[in-house]
């Protein structure tokens, strides 16, 4: 998980530092953002001081109605030694008492011109992406017809060669060999490449090739949501492979279950075309068209007709 500091917010959002520059390197440890409304009334029993504090129009209006003594007391309690920062929205004027307390305690005050709801949603998305659960998996991630396909299998089974064929056919490489995966939201996995091997493919016999240099900027993507897992395995003549597609296999990565298809590899099978069709079939299923189920229903109705005919 990456470390997020208050200065990262200044660099990534259109914010202005108004006070407390000594605290710019404070660490933000949670993606939750607090609006200290109840705290403005003086109730600090459950004050989440480790969170980024966001003051909107409502909080500021209440604060401005307090006496000078109450204002000083509230901002002293707001500005703790672990509070990563206070964001004031809507380009509101910041009272001097707040600036003084922030400078004294080293809590950065960041100023935004945007509406409160917009600031909250953008900051929350940014922090949740940074704090998302994270793992790395051995495989290749390719964007095939807009579907993020994670190709897995034993070393040497032909994952990178298949990815190369897919790129040649106009699809886009996201990551080869190692795929960094973070879980965004409860049902969404985003995959990307480690920076060291970004846009590179390792092909046995050729070595490392740069896909972007060879095939152009349209042949790569920096990240992609993973929707489908294709597991390549050497053909085992004693194993029964699914021939209809009625058995929906699943694989769990972190908390998310994804559909998984196992494709046996043997000479003469064009894996790239099979993966293209798997991606298109996945899209069709999402639209409500399931060829395997339609075939099964057709077969059942023919059997029923034959039975009726003999009766």
- Percent of the chain exceeding pLDDT 70 equals 97
Is 156 among the annotated ligand-binding positions? yes
Average the pLDDT over 223-233 and give the result.
Answer: 96
pLDDT tens-digit readout, 298-308? 888 899 888 87
Domains in the chain, please, with CATH? Answer: 4-131 (3.40.1390.20), 134-292 (3.40.50.300)
pLDDT of residue 225: 97
Is 160 among the annotated ligand-binding positions? yes
Is 153 among the annotated ligand-binding positions? yes
Cα separation, 107 vs 78, whole angstroms: 9
How does residue 311 score in pLDDT terms, banded at 50, 70 and 90? low
pLDDT tens-digit readout, 158-201? 999 999 999 999 999 999 999 999 998 788 999 999 999 999 99
How does residue 57 score in pLDDT terms, banded at 50, 70 and 90? very high
How does residue 129 score in pLDDT terms, banded at 50, 70 and 90? confident
pLDDT of residue 243: 66
Residues annotated as catalytic are 138, 159, 177, 243
Is 301 among the annotated ligand-binding positions? no
The DSSP line for 129-164 is HHHS-EEEEESEEEEETTEEEEEEESTTSSHHHHHH
- Check if the beta carbon of residue 111 is closer than 8 Å to that of residue 94: yes
pLDDT of 46 above 70? yes
How does residue 245 score in pLDDT terms, banded at 50, 70 and 90? low
Residue 5, SS3 per DSSP: strand
Q: Quick count: other Cβ atoms within 10 Å of Cβ 30?
A: 14
Average the pLDDT over 125-133 and give the result.
Answer: 88
Cα separation, 69 vs 40, whole angstroms: 13
pLDDT tens-digit readout, 250-304? 999 998 999 999 998 888 789 999 999 999 999 988 888 888 788 888 888 899 8
Average the pLDDT over 138-150 and give the result.
Answer: 97
Is 155 among the annotated ligand-binding positions? yes
pLDDT of residue 144: 98
Is 218 among the annotated ligand-binding positions? no
- Check if the beta carbon of residue 70 is closer than 8 Å to that of residue 89: no
């Amino acid at each position: 998980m990456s470390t997020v500091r208050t200065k990262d917010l200044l660099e990534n959002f259109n914010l202005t530092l108004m006070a407390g520059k000594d605290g710019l390197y404070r660490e933000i440890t949670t993606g939750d953002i607090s609006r200290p409304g109840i705290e403005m009334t003086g109730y600090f029993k459950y004050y989440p001081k480790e969170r980024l504090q966001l003051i909107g129009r409502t909080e500021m209006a209440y604060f401005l109605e307090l006496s000078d003594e109450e204002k000083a007391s509230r901002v002293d309690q707001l500005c703790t030694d672990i509070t990563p920062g206070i964001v004031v929205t809507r380009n509101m004027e910041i009272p001097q008492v707040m600036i003084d307390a922030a400078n004294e305690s080293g809590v950065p005050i960041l100023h935004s011109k945007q509406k409160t709801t917009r600031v909250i949603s953008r900051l929350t998305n940014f922090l949740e992406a940074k704090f998302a659960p994270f793992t790395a998996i051995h495989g290749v991630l390719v964007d095939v017809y807009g579907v993020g396909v994670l190709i897995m299998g034993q070393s040497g089974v032909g994952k990178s060669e298949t990815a190369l064929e897919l790129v040649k056919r106009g699809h886009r490489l996201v990551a080869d060999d190692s795929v960094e995966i973070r879980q965004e939201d409860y049902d969404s996995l985003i995959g990307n490449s480690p920076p060291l091997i970004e846009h590179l493919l390792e092909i046995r016999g050729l070595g490392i090739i740069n896909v972007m240099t060879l095939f152009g900027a349209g042949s790569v993507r920096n990240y992609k949501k993973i929707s489908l897992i294709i597991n390549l395995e050497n053909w085992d003549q004693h194993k029964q492979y699914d021939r209809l597609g009625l058995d929906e296999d699943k694989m769990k990565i972190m908390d998310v279950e994804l559909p998984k298809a196992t494709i046996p590899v043997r000479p003469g099978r064009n894996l790239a075309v099979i993966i293209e069709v798997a991606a298109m079939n996945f899209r069709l299923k999402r639209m409500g068209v399931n060829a395997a189920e339609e075939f099964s229903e057709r077969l059942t109705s023919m059997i029923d007709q034959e039975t009726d005919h003999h009766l």
